[in-house]
Structure 1
Amino acid sequence: MLKNKRPFIISIILLSILMIAWGLSYVVASGPIIQDEAFEEAIRAEIDYEIGEIRPDQLTQIEHLQIRDANITNIDGIEHFTSLTSLDLRDNQIQDISSLSELDSLTDLNLRGNRLNNIEALAALSNLEELNLRENAIQDISSLENLTELADVNLRYNNITNLEPLQDLNNLRDRLYLEGNPITDFSPVIDYYGEINETDIDPEEYSENQDLAPVFSHPGGFYEENVELELTSPEEEGTIFYTLDGSVPDPVDNADQTYEYSGKIFIDENNDEEPTLSMIPTNFIDDRRGWNKPGTPQDQGTVVRAVIVDENDNVSSVTTQTYFVNIQSSLPVFSLSTDAENFFDDEMGIYVPGIHHEDSDWTGNYYQRGREWERPIHVEYYESNGNLAFSQDAGVRIHGGFSRRFAQKTLRLYSRSDYGESRFSYQFFEDKEMDDFNRILLRNSGNDWGMTMFRDAAMQRLIGHLDLDHQSAQPSLVFLNGEFWGIHNIRDRLDKHFLETHHGADRDHFTILDGEGTISDGLETGVEDYAELIDYVQDNDLSHEEHYEYVQNNMDIENYTQYYATQIYNANSDWPHNNISFWRYENLNNEAVTTDELDGRWRWFLYDVDRSLGYEDYDHNTIEMTTSSVNPGRDEEWPNVLLRSLLENEDYKHKFINEMADHLNTTFNTDRVIQTIDEMEAMIEPEVERHIHRWGIPESVADWEEEVEIMREFAVNRPNIVRQHLSENFEVDGTANVEINFDSDQGRIQINSIDLREGTPGVTDPENWSGEYFTGIPITLTVTPNEGYTFTGWGDEIDSDSETIEITLEDDITLEPQFN
């Protein structure tokens, strides 16, 4: 019996040993082959593998991999992609690429927008044909000297000075981009440079204009570990000087803050040091908007600014980089650097009250305007993923009216050729495909400061689809000389530069008026013409068609009506006696008009709507305020003259009432407004506590949430209140519901100004739509059959087969357009 069991017992023992060995090997294994969570998530999406440990055999057959803008810092594990021929890791946070050295099948590699300064691993990639290393911190490209298959290389915006490694690359003839590097010697590539199909600089001209500024071993940005920063000079002669307080290095005039570079600069998180600028009072108001001493510790970055002074005392341009160690941001970040006295000096500082002279009418430094009160500043802009978007010198002024007196102020940034760059060439706003800005505002949210900090931005987002010139918005964080300065909304400024870029005409051919018709910019003839228009509407009865037509020829009625519908809905109590601005194109050269906006009629800007969406109670009677004979804002007639005169015309009155109804049904539909509020609340919510810690207002996150809830209450209650006010003011009996049911595959329906189709803001289900309109006021409906269909009628309640009908409501109605 025992003899027969022996093989079985031996098998059990061997199996146990194998299981133990397997278990031990699993325990001592190095763990997952992908270390970086963001990298792992992207790879899982690539191989469609949600759960379970990623195995090498799942990666070996992949030939093409693109993972952009994923916040990847560590690419360990990439070596298992042994079949890769194309790899795109653009716009991540990668510093170490040593694991790429095993991917010898790569022919196309894109590492643009990372943090590389060591590319030795590329020396092993002998099959590379296309290589993009743009926007890193690379100095040494010797690893490329034997990559003889290279045909296309992009090295823009690094710290490269020596091109010798490219000298013998006989296939480098498709493209070579070198702009943005401190190169003065092009001799290694000059013999074949003219044979390259695509280049970006003239070597001779570039060499002459190249400024030998200091080279930084690490680009500015966000780091999880301390940075050991090295500064080098492209030439042996010359001494590097640097500062750490945001001021311009100057060993003579700024000797106390200027250091001679002699070795590595060690940069840590810097948050245990008490901030200095944040402790300077920026107003002396006693109420809740007065300056509060910030809580400590505060997040602080480190600004390094450096110059080279040569043996003849010639000074290079300033290189500026800001380093954020162990600082996180869910929003884009502006790092602003300047001599502190530009903001805080009692005599010249633009951010402080300054010295009060009892015998003068001085109102404070921050109330001063004009070029005299513009100060130089360096601007770095980091995207929410930490990538540097741009870095340039600019000018800065305080912006705004009443809100200048608040502790945190709005900054107006100026791009001007005097500073180097004449534009901020970046697309700041998702809703605006434009990357050309002369002016940018970093707004404190105006009268909404210390409340929600996005009322104005939300209101303007809601009307972004209308024919109104408005300001887009993007929340951001600002650091001033490394110190946290809180949430600011990026806004474009409404001025002649805005009109030029948005409407495509010479900025000097626009006239902008404010208030009662005061010139802001442009020609005095515009003041005279607008005054004549107002005189005309006061002297003539616009119920007569010829007088109404005259007004139509001089102002864009559609634009004006949308503008008033917006302001009335949002209950803006700081208007129209204030914050009203309008413009026209002068067409000085009598060229052919290319767009309606350039037809010479007056149009209105929408701006400063921070007193909206619940700033006033939702039952604020804005209709009465804007149609009374005297506007209560200033106890004057002029703010209401134009609207009151237009409403004398019966057709316009119906248009105005229907325009209000259309927007209450769509643009300001409660669900749409609440969705917008929710989205914008979510954007800044992660940063609100840090903002409060800095400025002491609102008092708590809970208080901020209560303010946001007031906006939602406004969204729920405001539409019916406006309908009630319209009914009372225009003596309308009430409202009725219009329901429209149709098949959108067969045709399209329009009710007044609303196109019932997918994509129309506020229209969620175009085939089963309902809206509220005013009884006794004619509404217009139009049907457009799709190709292959014929319209046959509006359904049982309307006996008509006309494609356009006008109906006057008495009760609720259901329309069911029919097609054959």
Structure 2
Amino acid sequence: MRLLSFLVLIIFLNSCNKNGDSQRNLKINEVAFSEFNTNHLEYIEIYNPNQSKITIDSISVLINKKKYVIDSVDSIDGNKTIFTYLKIAITDPELNIELLVNGRKTDVFKWHNKKSTPYLGRYPDGSKLIVSMTSRSLGKTNNESKIKLFKPKFNLESGLYDEYKTLFIRPEYTNTPLYYTLDGSTPTSNSMLFTDSLVIKNNSTIKARFIIDHHKSPIKHLSLFIGENTTLPIVSIIVDNKSFWNDTIGIMQKGLAAEDQFPYKGANYWKKIQLPSYIEYFDQEKKIILSEKSKIKIHGNYSIVEPIKSLRIKANNKNGVFDFNPFEANGSNNFSELILRNSGQDALKLHFRDAFIHNYVNEMLNVDIQRAQPVIVFINGDYYGLLNLRERYNETFFEQKHGKEQTYNLLKLWGVPIIGDDQEYIKIREEVKEIHENQGSPRSVLQYFDILNWIDYYIIETYTANLDWIPNNTMYWSSNQTNKWRYLLNDLDASMNSKNDTMYKKDMFTWIFNNSPSKEFAVFMRDTVVKNKFITRYMDLLNTIFKPNDIIYSARNYQKKIEHEIPRLLKNYSLNNKLNSDTEIIDYWQTNNVEPFHDFLNKRPAFMKNQLKNQFKLGAIKNIHILSSFPYHFNSLELDSNFSGEYYTGMNYKISVDTIKNPKFSHFKINGKDIFQNPFSFKLIDNIEISIITN
């Protein structure tokens, strides 16, 4: 009898233990807030993960320490759920729900930012993992729900930091598996699992995403720079390291199919491979002003064999444009593509020749330019180099600058189409060729060109002594509204003493008349009006923007922007540690590159004046001096103060004052003689002084 009683007691206790275990296994499986107000908790779903039914004597929940009793629940079938509708206002940002069954705590449901989503649930049913969901399950299993995984949030954002930092995931996301990479590759469930924290001691880029089964969150990109003290803007590019650098498949490498001889055709960098990437831009104040998806490819022609290559960055967001302002000069803030240029043939030499001249002549010539901004580029946190961020001539460029209501043709070389077609231009080119061969008049072809643009374009190309020009590096465009062809300034890296220290003597006119494959200049110069405008405009510019002191002053300002970065650049790419200190490297750079550049800018105007005189058989050079305290026009110039310039005798010049804007204007006094004509044209015979007299 005692044995039987003992067995009954054991069976009873075992039954109680099983029931207690089952009660402790009950889970808060889902909570739902109002989709219109995430401060209003609407219902809680309780789930029995067991196969058998569970009997319940009492059940309640503690919501942020406040108790709510759930009535009319005496059991839950195995693998089933019950709902309790609460409609409770919760203003705390954090949610903490404890489930009490028969007086015991069986589950805790925590979420740190309830405003982030109205629907929360365990995935899969009854598991420890709590996730946000796109909708209520309405009693169905969460295993088939569409999980809403938010982009990860950390305690740090992309930026520059003085010392090492510790990276934490935001608390509301700590219960979700977070995978990350440091090499620019896309995180998978095989990547590193973010556990507690990550100490960032060096420049690093991070790609991180939540992954649950086949569910993946958007990727969070971080660019973290430690102790980086450059004064230049920073461009951070995040791209798969293997696809970018690997010796076999990397787009920066020769790969397995490259030819043995320069320029190594067949190399990976010739294949125009485009990789998915991410770009972040930090301005000079180190504020991040761009953080966007992008695509990256190698940019350029023969300069792509250089160890530091130009990169083309294409917007890969929903709008297809980068919307930010990285340039100091006025212009569009929308770019579908940008170029990180290595300075072409000037790479690792002066390293800013082309970028400087574009910026310098911007808004002073009738030629479109590519704005430039020197930047420091990092690839996956590693220093890549000093490059110049440049605009790219493409459809977006023209639409932003000249209007979206037009259609455009953009050609290069002898008429290779980049945008639109070449049919119209090919006909014009053949007509120019025929006129040249038959000694004909150019009047029939002049109508197809914007002459002011044409003049300024040929001036800048000949002034800079561009040795890699016509047809190389020629680009020109037209639209269906103007039907006029206009040249673009493009690639002056082989100019201004870049090839040797005596390029300032280069006679571009002898070459362009006699040796150039393009006969356009020779044909156009047969027209007296165009020729005289060209000569006068040339002298106007030599007397203003190309005056040695002015252009050298601006060149020095550009030089100062990048000078402190030259040692790091040359140490990485060209000097092979021949020089020890940064001071020695800067001295080397200035002696071998800066000084010859300044020498060109200083000496070129005098040689150009003599070459113009000899080529076009012009008169003596005399001085024109103008005294004025308010705005006036002289030839092609708009001036507002005293002016002194050299011009050829025997040619006509013109001065005028806008009397509507300047009603106090009275007349001109020329060499002491009163002249009441406005505008006033005159032929230069000798030195002349012009005073603008007011009432």
Report the Cα offset of residue 713 of structure 1.
Answer: 1.3
Deviates more, 1:240-249 or 1:698-707: 698-707
Deviations 1:46-69 (A, max 9, x none): xxxxxxxxxxxxxxxxxxxxxxxx
Counterpart residue identity of residue 265, structure 1: L
Change beyond 3 A, Cα 1:327–1:713 = same
1:624-703 equivalences in 2 (<5 Å): 624-631=509-516, 637=517, 639=518, 641-697=519-575, 700-703=585-588
Q: Distance in 1 between matches of 2:327 and 2:260?
A: 47
Give the secondary structure class of the aligned counterpart of 1:554.
coil
Q: How far apart are the structure 1 equivalents of 2:259 and 2:236?
A: 37
In the alignment, is the contact (CA less than 8 A) between 1:448 and 1:455 conserved in 2?
Answer: yes
Say whether residues 1:434 and 2:434 are aligned partners.
no
Residue 243 of structure 1 corresponds to 181
Secondary structure of the corresponding residue to residue 215 of structure 1: coil
Query: 1:618 and 1:248, CA in 2 relative to 1: closer, same or farther beyond 3 A?
Result: same
Contact persistence 1:740–1:816 (CA under 8 A) = yes
* 1:614-640 superposed Cα distances (whole Å, 9 cap, x missing partner): 325343334324532322xxxxx3x2x
Q: Contact (CA 8 Å) 2:253, 2:269: kept in 1 or not? A: no
Relative to structure 1, is the Cα distance of residues 313 and 793 closer, same or farther in structure 2, using a 3 angstrom cutoff?
Answer: closer
Alignment equivalent of 1:720, drawn from 606, 609, 627:
606
The 2-side partners of 1:369 and 1:501 are apart by: 30
Residue correspondence of structure 1 range 22-33 to structure 2 within 5 A: none
Quote how far apart the aligned CAs of 1:324 are.
1.3
Partner of 2:411, secondary structure, is strand
Instruction: Report the Cα offset of residue 729 of structure 1.
Output: 0.8
Give CA deviations for 1:631-690 in whole Å, capped at 9, x if unaligned. 2xxxxx3x2x11111111112111111111011011212121111111101101121112
CA contact (8 A) 1:780 1:806 kept: yes
Structure 1 residues 409-424: aligned runs within 5 Å: 409-417=309-317, 420=318, 422-424=320-322
Residue 609 of structure 1 is matched in structure 2 by: 492
- Written as runs of structure 1 = structure 2, the 5 A alignment for 1:523-562 is 523-535=421-433, 537-538=435-436, 547-548=442-443, 550-562=444-456
Alignment partner, residue 671 of structure 2: 796
Q: Tell me the equivalent position of 2:252.
A: 351
CA separation of 1:487/1:795 partners in 2, compared to 1, >3 Å: closer, same or farther?
Answer: same
Q: Distance in 1 between matches of 2:446 and 2:429?
A: 16
Distance in structure 1 (CA, Å) of the matches to 2:632 and 2:524: 29
| Correspondence 1:371-770 to 2 at 5 A | 373-417=273-317, 420=318, 422-465=320-363, 466-505=365-404, 509-535=407-433, 537-538=435-436, 547-548=442-443, 550-586=444-480, 598-616=481-499, 617-631=502-516, 637=517, 639=518, 641-697=519-575, 700-706=585-591, 707-744=593-630, 748-757=631-640, 766=641, 768-770=642-644
Residue identity in the other structure for 2:117: D
* Structure ID, larger Rg: 2
Pairing 1:70-219 to 2, within 5 Å after superposition: 164=91, 184-185=116-117, 212-219=150-157
Amino acid at match of 1:326: G
SS at match of 2:490: coil
Shift of 1:342: 1.7
Query: 1:260: how far off?
Result: 0.8
Alpha-carbon distance change, 432 to 536 in structure 1, aligned in 2, over 3 angstroms: farther
Q: 1 CA distance for matches of 2:163 and 2:567?
A: 24
SS of the residue 1:604 aligns to: strand
Tell me what 2:657 maps to: 783
Deviation at residue 535 of structure 1 after TM alignment: 4.6
Distance in 2 of aligned mates of 1:209 and 1:470 = 49
Partner of residue 12, structure 2: none
Normalised by the size of structure 2, how large is the TM-score? 0.74
Following TM superposition, by how much is the alpha carbon of 1:734 offset from its aligned partner in structure 2, in angstroms?
A: 2.8
The code of the aligned residue for 1:568 comes to: T
Q: Aligned-pair distance for 1:533?
A: 4.6
Taking the aligned partners of 1:374 and 1:345, their CA distance within structure 2 comes to 15
Q: Distance in 1 between matches of 2:610 and 2:259?
A: 52
Query: Does residue 1:807 correspond to 2:672, yes or no?
Result: no
In structure 1, which of residues 768, 771, 774 is the aligned counterpart of residue 648 of structure 2? 774
For residues 600 and 184 of structure 1, do their structure 2 counterparts lie closer, same or farther at Cα, with a shift above 3 Å needed?
farther
**Alignment correspondent of 2:206:** 304
Name the CA distance, whole Å, in 1 between partners of 2:289 and 2:210.
25
Query: 2-side partners of 1:327 and 1:382: how far apart?
Result: 12
1:21-44 per-residue CA deviation (whole Å, 9 max, x = no partner) reads xxxxxxxxxxxxxxxxxxxxxxxx
Is the CA contact 1:356–1:364 (under 8 Å) kept in the aligned structure 2? Answer: yes
C-alpha deviations, 1:455-493, integer Å up to 9, x for none?
Answer: 111111221012211111111001111111110100001
TM-superposed deviation, 1:240: 0.4
Question: In 2 relative to 1, CA 727–524 (structure 1 residues): closer, same or farther, beyond 3 Å?
Answer: closer
Partner of 2:193: 260
Q: Distance in 2 between matches of 1:779 and 1:377?
A: 56
Which residue number corresponds to residue 241 of structure 2?
Answer: 340
User: Are the counterparts in 1 of residues 292 and 316 from structure 2 also a CA contact under 8 Å?
Assistant: no
> In structure 2, the residue corresponding to 1:390 is in which secondary structure?
strand
Matched letter for residue 565 of structure 2: E
Q: Which runs of 5+ in 1 are unaligned?
A: 1-161, 168-180, 188-202, 253-257, 271-300, 587-597, 632-636, 758-765
**Residues of 2 paired with 1:787 and 1:659: CA distance?**
25
Change (3 A) 1:542 1:818: farther
What is the one-letter code of the residue matched to 2:324? Y
Task: Tell me how far apart the structure 2 counterparts of residues 735 and 542 of structure 1 sit (CA, whole Å).
Answer: 32
Q: Report the Cα offset of residue 787 of structure 1.
A: 4.4
- Secondary structure of residue in 1 paired with 2:686: coil
CA shift digits 1:214-266 (9 cap, x unpaired): 111111211112211012475576310111222222234xxxxx211111101
Per-residue CA deviation, residues 393-412 of structure 1 (Å, 9 max, x unaligned), is 21011111121111100000
Question: Deviations for 1:730-759, whole angstroms, at most 9, x for unmatched residues?
Answer: 112331110011232xxx3211101112xx
Contact 1:392-1:421 within 8 A present in 2 as well:
no
**In structure 2, distance between residues paired with 1:324 and 1:651:** 59
Q: Deviations along 1:310-334, whole A, 9 cap, x unmatched?
A: 2x33122211112111221211111
Query: In 1, distance between residues paired with 2:258 and 2:291?
Result: 39
- Structure 2: how far apart are the matches of 1:569 and 1:182? 66
Residue 219 (structure 2) aligns with: 318
**For the Cα contact (< 8 Å) 1:726–1:732, is it kept in 2?**
yes
2:143 maps to: none
State the Cα distance separating 1:710 from its structure 2 match. Answer: 1.6
Task: Tell me the distance in 1 between the aligned counterparts of 2:147 and 2:490.
Answer: 42
Question: Using the alignment, how far apart are the partners of 2:435 and 2:423 within structure 1?
Answer: 19
1-structure distance, mates of 2:470, 2:206: 47
Deviation at 1:721, TM superposition (A): 0.7
Between the two proteins, what is the percent identity of the paired residues? 26
Distance (Å, rounded) in 1 between the aligned partners of 2:300 and 2:412: 14
Contact 1:379 1:394 in 2 (8 A): yes
Q: Aligned equivalents of 1:718 and 1:326: distance in 2?
A: 43
Q: Alignment length, in residue pairs?
A: 553
Amino acid of the structure 2 residue aligned with 1:810:
I
Unaligned runs of 5+ in 2: 1-88, 95-112, 120-133, 136-145, 580-584
Q: What secondary structure, in the 3-state scheme, does the structure 1 residue paired with 2:675 have?
A: coil
Q: Indicate if the aligned counterparts of 2:257 and 2:267 stay in contact, CA closer than 8 A.
A: no
Query: d(CA) in 1 for partners of 2:394 and 2:277?
Result: 22
Shift of 1:540: 6.9
